[in-house]
């Protein structure tokens, strides 16, 4: 039996339409769901999900359900739930606890509701559910078969837990699958973060100076797309190797203190805290726009922004104007939360198709291999990664070459030289 | 005295906020408005505008009003009016007749309401108002001092009228100003058309095959931005020189009949009619997306689409699914109307700043030079073009070089060789 | 009967191989030559050419010869002659007077040798031959049927002459053909100028700051290619409209005085004089590289460079090191002459194919239409432009769309609106 | 005492000039050489190098010599030696055995001459010297302290040896340093391979279809630069993940059999053998150009090309024309050897600066840590990687951000969530 807490159950028809649209653009998950429907690899398994409640997540939930899972779902961010989708899932019998615009208390209350279902598999996005499990529901933690983490930020947290020896069940770092990390973070966030900035502001990027903080996969995706739309991009980094890559990719690289004076738009993608802080804000030009593409809303340090402002008001959906003492105005998008989810629709389904195919196949893998797994953070099994890539190419109608036997031998031999 | 017809006057506060946002990003028009407020070059002149009723147009209307003009405004497309903006303008005393979602009858009725104000200057976007003036209000036409046309499509129509000897007043082809045509059409439509496709569909462009029909300024802007977002772009053309440019720019070029079989997204930007028609639609892949960025909704020939379909339904805001007999589905965005205006917010204010600065300065020019002008289609005076460019650079904080006296002489001399 | 002056006649076999290679990549000229061989449109006409003596020019010369012309040829730059090609042409009976590394006296002597052949058609590149004709051989000038000018610089000079009323025969501005100007100047010089810099220096462009002076077709080609190779590009301009385009294309724009301090490589493409002068050189970083892509070697003002230097030496083929008083070193490529011709091989044949097809067809046109032409600077006839574009597409195996009858009518009508 | 075998000792002055030019563009190695000159970390150590004998390698050799090493050097490819550089090194007392255009016997004879010097450290490029050591000089192998391998190909061979348990001394995989692999292979080969194609052929890349075989770091560098020069790029791959990346980067992906029919230029970068073989050659268009950027000349299978041809001749320096039975002509560049080294000058010094700084610092590291090292293939120590990156940024005048203490803690903690 399922219960649920959503904003408005009557939004279900619109939610179904949204999910159907996503499903049409997630052919790999559709293929997996077809097989799951027959093979039922998750038959009777209780699954807890703490994920952005979007139309794409709904397709994953449907896939897990096709495999026989019994699912409870909460959001992984107070602002990212699509209420229509939540309503539709509730209607389909999923125990969903999520709505857009939660307080922190409501947010954690929903996580705890999921935990009360005693899930054996947990799919997380940012590790809030898994860390809650470890902090306040330790006995429950011990019965978990496996956890799956979707984000760079979450994996960093979970590896810290592994290092500290406190992990109580195995984790598969779905984020680190090549078919996830190389695609979702780069092409998905690249497009959708820039899309979020444009939907929020309707500014022309051509001719603007865009400062991207962080040159990991997310940062380089954003830099690439901002440049693709005509912006002049500056990259800031703390890692000298990544800084050099940004330089060789044709971007300017400089300390943020310096970039602050010339940027028109700032987008953070570091996974770190207090990246843009008072000293930077105070140096910015009138009209500067600030957005965050990192998982938590700590990259742009909002308390500093509040402190230096004399007035704050919402000037457009998703745009808050902060008026500084000297009359300059800074514009914060989506309250400093994930700009692609809050100001746009999050990653396109096409790319979530790959990330979530990893989630679904890893769930199946964990059930089959539970005996062999220890309380560690595992990479996604290579067979899963390759299966996802092959299915994706296949559903896109793209064929590639195969190594000949002779080539395979050549690559394994060391005796053949000049 | 003003009257008005808008969807909902109570939307005015939201409209004001939108206009304020646009104004903040249109510094050239703000500068012109400041001067107009003092010099009143349009004092008492009745001005009729048939323009997309957007927040940016509102800033132009305010600028003309600052110059002393008495303005009546209707929309230039049945689907492009932002109702909040119309409400705000009505509140400010503008005679505005526009709402989103007009029938063809309502559309022309609004044009006629503007004409009944007996305008002496007419700002047009697509030439519907000016051709109506010539068809059904000829005596009125004779009292018009000058018309101003914003679009390529409109200029083509007006030049045809000039050629046929039927023009009854002078026209300035604002569209052909370098500071309009080279910017608005290329960078403005380039970004906003792609933005419209993404807002409507949330598809990932990376890895998609995007077919751009037409390689004029609009088409090359779209191609550039689609590529900038990771798409593989195919261009179709009828002009061999433009086709060669597209090739050398690294795109594939082929007949549309061939491109139809491989495209994921089709965007028309030709200014022509029946570009995508039955034979093309029938060749398309399941899931193909069709959008138009040209002025009129005749480029994708919808009657053909209706004819070959067995069902049509709206699957997302701005997305209509056409189900073909064989089960394939084609998706038409924004009913085949301007995808950037219907599915997104139209051109960003930054670029409309330049186009509309030309409109405002040409209005001033026409009033000052009315004696000298004949019933022809004029280019924008070079002084206007250069003024707009200089103001734009200035407001962006960009400085450039000046020719030295010696250089100026060198450029004018022919005696200096190897 | 032909005579000739070349560096070394024994280089002819190598020259023939070079020409054959070019010919293989110039299919449009090959098609025209085939027709000329049958129709002999230039039978017995004396033709004087002042062109860069490269393998591509040789293919043009062969084409004119196929049409029946009797040709004399000199170089259009003291440093750009490919001696092997000159030798091969001499062997084929062309009166060629050209070698790499001429003094100014030798250069003009060769021009005069061509004039002594009393040409009736003159193909020029930079207008040195035509201005010499007007200065010192005026009686000869009066018997010239038509001149053809290949460069922007030359056309500027010839239009100045037209304006001053001193032109003694008609000119066709081949440079201004769409199939020349839009391709040769942009894609041809874009690639070959950057190629020249790399061949001369072998520097890595990725991560370098490249300053491009001038954003005409040549400048934007260079900027595009430098960026395409990973450079961070700064554009300097005197024209505010072009400066804005550069900005919107994502480049930084600033005065040269400012760019001088941060550039690693400077490339001039202005058609003007004294663009990079003492004040700029003195601000440059140690190791800065200077190259010119404009027609004359006056853009980088070498006398200034000589004046501020204490030592000059050749450190690589085509690279001169200037040691400044304070120990900084500046590197001048190809003595400030056309870097693509002097340090690399000039435009690739693929693009010269289009430019020279215009030269050949314009020669034919002038002979056929000599009665109608006045002493003015003419545009290339549109029929020639379109013929070149169509032949080029055809030989590349590319097909394009054709307008339907209905579309043609639509484009000519003004009555069809919303 | 040194002996040497070079083509022409009198080329030394030109060689010195070339080396000086490289040195001016390799500031990181200069810094290391300064320190080595003082600290003498390699005092008296015999070092054997099997590297491309280029001006950049000479700067590495000088750096090792500054550290006190006694060096013997042979080439790592029969066609890549710059004879002027070899002469200059001989003059400086290096035991150099290398000239351009060796037979296979001469090539291995030179390797054996280096081995006869009984080197304790060996720097290799492709692993020919190290595998020779293991095959025919095993007693010598046992006295080697450490080997260093520069290429992907070599590392694959050495890891195969490690796997087979036959390694007789430790190896540091210099190729796998982030400051090597991410830069040299991508930006270095990217630019220089395309440069090699252009120098060899002078073709215009704009509008050409370029097929890149392999989408590793080298392949993506080449694809990026070919596109940057206006080409339409097709990628072929055997790895589904890389194939998907290429797709999302906007390239077309297809089997080589299909690409063979449409490519104008083919460049291999796979590290594998018989990539382009008879079946592909037979499908190619007349005039197709074939080049290899992989380490060994086995990627384009020349025996197949010979077999299907009726005539072969050299038409330009580095270009061999193969005439097929049906009249089609295929052009092979640089005899299928590394196109960037054979047809151009190899990687620019700027990027070799980083690769060779790793070689120099790894040599120092191996001497200091020889006791701890086993007969395995090691990664470059992270401290070396970071030192190289920091020195490179410093010498480029680029500053970056540092983590604050609070940020460092944040990144290590897992308790902070939403």
Residue B168's CB is within 10 A of a number of other CB atoms, namely 18
D247: closest CA of chain B, how far (Å):
5
Of the listed ranges C109-113, D149-153, D274-278, D382-386, the one predicted with least confidence? D149-153
Mean pLDDT for A71-81 is 93
Separation CA A127–CA A151 (nearest Å): 8
Could you tell me the pLDDT band of residue D416, with boundaries at 50, 70 and 90? low
Instruction: Return the HEC string of D276-309.
Output: ECHHHHCCCCCCCEEEECCCCCCCECHHHHHHHE
Question: From the candidates C15, C24, C202, C222, which should be mutated to test the interface with D, based on the most D CB atoms within 10 A?
Answer: C202
Burial A172-200 (b: 16+ CB within 10 A, else e): bbbbbbbbbbbbbbbbbbbbbbbbbbbbb
- Pairwise CB contact (< 8 Å): C253 & B400: yes
Closest CA to C88 of C65, C122, C113: C65
Which of A76-80, B408-412, D85-89 has the highest average model confidence (pLDDT)? D85-89
**CA–CA distances in Å: residue A62 to residues A95, A124, B22:** 12, 17, 43
Instruction: Return the HEC string of chain C.
Output: CCCCECCCHHHHHHHHHHHHHHHHCCHHHHHHHHHHHHHCCCCCCEEEEECCCCHHHHHHHHHHHHCCCEEEEECCCCCCCCHHHHHHHHHCCCEEECCCCCCHHHHHHHHHHHHCCCCCEEEECCCHHHHHHHHHCHHHHCCCCEEEECCHHHHHHHHHHHHCCCCCCCEECHHHCHHHHHHHHHHHHHHHHHHHHHHHHCCCCCCCEEEEECCCHHHHHHHHHHHHCCCEEEEECCCHHHHHHHHHCCCEECCHHHHCCCCCEEEECCCCCCCECHHHHCCCCCCCEEEECCCCCCCECHHHHHHHEEEEEEEECCEEEEEECCCCEEEEEHHHCEHHHHCCCCCCHHHHHHHHHHHHHHHHHHHHHHHHCCCCEECCCHHHHHHHHHHHHHHCCCCCCCCCHHHHHHHHCCCCCC
Q: pLDDT of C354-400, one tens digit each?
A: 999 999 999 999 999 999 999 999 999 999 999 999 999 999 999 99
* Sign for the pseudo-dihedral over CA of D149, D151, D154, D159: positive
Q: pLDDT of D159-171, one tens digit each?
A: 999 999 999 999 9
Locate the DSSP E strands across D155-208.
171-173
- B contact set with A (CB within 8 A): 17-18, 20-21, 24-25, 187-188, 190-191, 195, 198-199, 202-207, 224-225, 227-230, 287, 315-316, 319, 344-345, 347-351, 396
pLDDT at D1 over 60: no
* Nearest beta carbon to residue A206 from set B187, B205, B287: B187
- Give residue B136's pLDDT: 84
C374: closest CA of chain D, how far (Å):
37
Separation CA D260–CA D267 (nearest Å): 12
B242: closest CA of chain D, how far (Å):
13
- Pairwise CB contact (< 8 Å): B207 & D250: yes
CB contacts < 8 A, A to C, total: 32
Separation CA D272–CA D270 (nearest Å): 5
Closest residue in B to D204 (Cα) is: B248
- Give residue D103's pLDDT: 95
pLDDT at B138 over 90: no
Q: Say if residue C397 is exposed, middle or buried (CB neighbours under 10 Å; 0-12, 13-18, 19+).
A: exposed
Where does A211-348 have alpha helices with state H? 217-228, 240-248, 256-259, 278-281, 302-308, 339-342
Question: From the candidates C192, C206, C220, C352, which should be mutated to test the interface with D, based on the most D CB atoms within 10 A?
Answer: C206
Chains in touch with B (3+ beta-carbon pairs under 8 Å) read A, C, D
**CA–CA distances in Å: residue B383 to residues B179, B277, B350, B358, B362:** 11, 43, 21, 11, 10
Closest residue in D to C287 (Cα) is: D24
Where does A92-188 have alpha helices with state H? 104-115, 128-136, 138-141, 152-163, 178-181
Closest CA to A95 of A108, A110, A78, A80: A110
Chains in touch with D (3+ beta-carbon pairs under 8 Å) read A, B, C
The span from the first CA to the last CA of chain B, in angstroms, equals: 69
- Give residue B154's pLDDT: 92
Mean pLDDT for B39-44 is 97
Whether pTM exceeds 0.90: yes
Per 3-state DSSP, what percentage of chain A is helix, strand, and coil (rounded to 5)?
Answer: 50, 15, 35
Closest residue in B to D246 (Cα) is: B207
- Pairwise CB contact (< 8 Å): A204 & B198: no
Beta bridge partners of residue B269, listed in sequence order: none
ipTM of the complex: 0.91
- C contact set with A (CB within 8 A): 206-207, 227, 230-232, 244, 247-252
Helices (H) then strands (E): counts for chain D: 19, 15
Burial A155-168 (b: 16+ CB within 10 A, else e): bbbbbbbbeeeebb
Residue A35's CB is within 10 A of a number of other CB atoms, namely 15
**Phi-psi sector, D339: left (phi>0), alpha (psi -120 to 50), beta:** alpha
| Cβ contact D270:A401 at 8 Å | no
- Give residue C417's pLDDT: 61
Looking at every residue in chain A, the average pLDDT score rounds to 95
Residue D363 sits at φ, ψ, to 5 deg, of -60, -45
Could you tell me the pLDDT band of residue A416, with boundaries at 50, 70 and 90? low
pLDDT at A173 over 60: yes
The two tokens of residue A88 are: 């539709």
**CA–CA distances in Å: residue B28 to residues B356, C142, D51:** 9, 53, 60
pLDDT at C1 over 60: no
B223: closest CA of chain D, how far (Å):
12
- Give residue A179's pLDDT: 96
B349: closest CA of chain A, how far (Å):
7
Separation CA C38–CA C33 (nearest Å): 9
Chains in touch with C (3+ beta-carbon pairs under 8 Å) read A, B, D
* Nearest beta carbon to residue B414 from set C160, C183, C254: C160
- Give residue B385's pLDDT: 96
A225: closest CA of chain B, how far (Å):
6
- Give residue A418's pLDDT: 61
Q: pLDDT of D205-260, one tens digit each?
A: 999 999 999 999 999 999 999 999 999 999 999 999 999 999 999 999 999 999 99
Residue D37 sits at φ, ψ, to 5 deg, of -60, -35
| Cβ contact C182:C206 at 8 Å | no
Beta bridge partners of residue C212, listed in sequence order: C235, C267
Quote the percentage of chain D above a pLDDT of 70: 98
Closest CA to A177 of A361, A34, A29: A361
- Give residue C412's pLDDT: 81
Q: Please work out, in degrees rounded to the nearest 5, the angle formed at the alpha carbon of residue D83 by the alpha carbons of D82 and D87.
A: 125
- Give residue D413's pLDDT: 77
The span from the first CA to the last CA of chain C, in angstroms, equals: 69
- Pairwise CB contact (< 8 Å): D389 & A244: yes
User: DSSP readout, D3-33?
Assistant: --B-S-GGGHHHHHHHHHHHHHT-HHHHHHH
Mean pLDDT for D100-118 is 95
Instruction: Return the HEC string of D116-153.
Output: CCCCCEEEECCCHHHHHHHHHCHHHHCCCCEEEECCHH
Closest CA to A110 of A123, A129, A89: A129
- A contact set with C (CB within 8 A): 206-207, 227, 230-232, 244, 247-252
Closest residue in C to D196 (Cα) is: C199
Which helix (DSSP H) or strand (DSSP E) does residue A5 occupy? none
| Cβ contact B24:A202 at 8 Å | no
- Pairwise CB contact (< 8 Å): D389 & A179: no
Of the listed ranges A305-314, D37-46, D409-418, the one predicted with least confidence? D409-418
- Give residue C249's pLDDT: 96
Residue B22's CB is within 10 A of a number of other CB atoms, namely 26
User: Which residues of chain C are within 8 Å of residue A247 when distances are taken between CB atoms?
Assistant: 206-207
Radius of gyration, alpha carbons of chain B = 22
Q: pLDDT of A3-31, one tens digit each?
A: 899 999 999 999 999 999 999 999 999 99
User: Which residues of chain C are within 8 Å of residue B273 when distances are taken between CB atoms?
Assistant: 406-407, 410, 416
The two tokens of residue D292 are: 């290899």
Q: pLDDT of B342-400, one tens digit each?
A: 999 888 999 999 999 999 999 999 999 999 999 999 999 999 999 999 999 999 999 99
pLDDT at D309 over 80: yes
pLDDT at A187 over 80: yes
* Nearest beta carbon to residue C241 from set B76, B389, B411: B389
- Give residue B415's pLDDT: 63
Beta bridge partners of residue B19, listed in sequence order: none
Q: pLDDT of A29-40, one tens digit each?
A: 999 999 999 999
- Pairwise CB contact (< 8 Å): A315 & B20: yes
Could you tell me the pLDDT band of residue A245, with boundaries at 50, 70 and 90? very high
- Give residue B296's pLDDT: 87
pLDDT at C415 over 90: no
- Give residue A346's pLDDT: 87
Separation CA D75–CA D97 (nearest Å): 7
Looking at every residue in chain C, the average pLDDT score rounds to 95
* Nearest beta carbon to residue A417 from set D126, D244, D386: D126
Closest CA to C172 of C197, C144, C199, C194: C144
- Give residue A282's pLDDT: 97
Closest residue in A to B24 (Cα) is: A287
Separation CA D68–CA D46 (nearest Å): 9
Q: pLDDT of A193-232, one tens digit each?
A: 999 999 999 999 999 999 999 999 999 999 999 999 999 9
Separation CA D153–CA D269 (nearest Å): 11
* Nearest beta carbon to residue D230 from set B244, B249, B252: B249
Radius of gyration, alpha carbons of chain A = 22
The two tokens of residue C67 are: 């049409």
């Amino acid at each position: 039996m399922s219960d649920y807490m959503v904003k408005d159950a009557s939004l279900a028809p619109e939610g179904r339409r949204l999910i159907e649209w996503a499903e049409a653009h997630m052919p790999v998950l559709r293929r997996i769901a077809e097989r799951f429907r027959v093979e039922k690899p998750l038959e009777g398994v209780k699954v807890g999900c703490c994920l952005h409640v979007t139309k794409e997540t709904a397709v994953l939930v449907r896939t897990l359900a096709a495999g026989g899972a019994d699912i409870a779902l909460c959001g992984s961010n107070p602002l990212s739930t699509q209420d229509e989708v939540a309503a539709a899932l509730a209607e389909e019998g999923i125990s969903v606890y999520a709505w857009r615009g939660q307080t922190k208390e409501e947010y954690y209350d929903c996580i705890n509701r999921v935990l009360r279902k005693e899930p054996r598999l947990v799919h997380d996005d940012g590790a809030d559910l898994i860390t809650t499990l470890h902090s306040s529901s330790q006995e429950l933690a011990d019965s978990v078969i496996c956890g799956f983490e979707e984000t760079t930020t979450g994996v960093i947290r979970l590896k810290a837990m592994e290092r500290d020896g406190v992990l109580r069940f195995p984790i598969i770092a779905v984020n680190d699958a090549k078919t996830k990390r190389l695609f979702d973070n780069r092409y998905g966030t690249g497009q959708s973060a820039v899309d979020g900035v444009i939907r929020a502001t309707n500014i022309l990027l051509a001719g603007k100076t865009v400062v991207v903080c962080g040159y990991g996969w997310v940062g380089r995706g954003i830099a690439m797309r901002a440049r693709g739309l005509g912006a002049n991009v500056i990259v800031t980094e703390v890692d000298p190797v990544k800084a050099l890559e940004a330089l060789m990719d044709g971007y300017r690289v400089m300390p943020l203190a310096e970039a602050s004076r010339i940027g028109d738009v700032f987008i953070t993608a570091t996974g770190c805290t207090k990246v843009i802080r008072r000293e930077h804000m105070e140096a910015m030009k009138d009209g500067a726009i600030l957005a965050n593409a990192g998982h938590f809303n700590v990259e742009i340090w909002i308390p500093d922004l509040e402190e230096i402002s004399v007035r704050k008001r919402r000037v457009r959906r998703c745009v808050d104007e902060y008026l500084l003492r000297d009359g300059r105005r800074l514009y914060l998008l989506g309250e400093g939360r994930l700009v692609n989810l809050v100001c746009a629709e999050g990653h396109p389904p096409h790319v979530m198709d790959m990330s979530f195919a990893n989630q679904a196949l890893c769930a199946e893998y964990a059930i089959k291999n539970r005996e062999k797994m220890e309380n560690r953070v595992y990479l996604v099994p290579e067979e899963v990664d390759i299966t996802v890539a092959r299915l994706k190419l296949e559903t896109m109608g793209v064929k590639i070459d195969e190594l000949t036997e002779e080539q395979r031998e050549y690559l394994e031999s060391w005796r053949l030289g000049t």
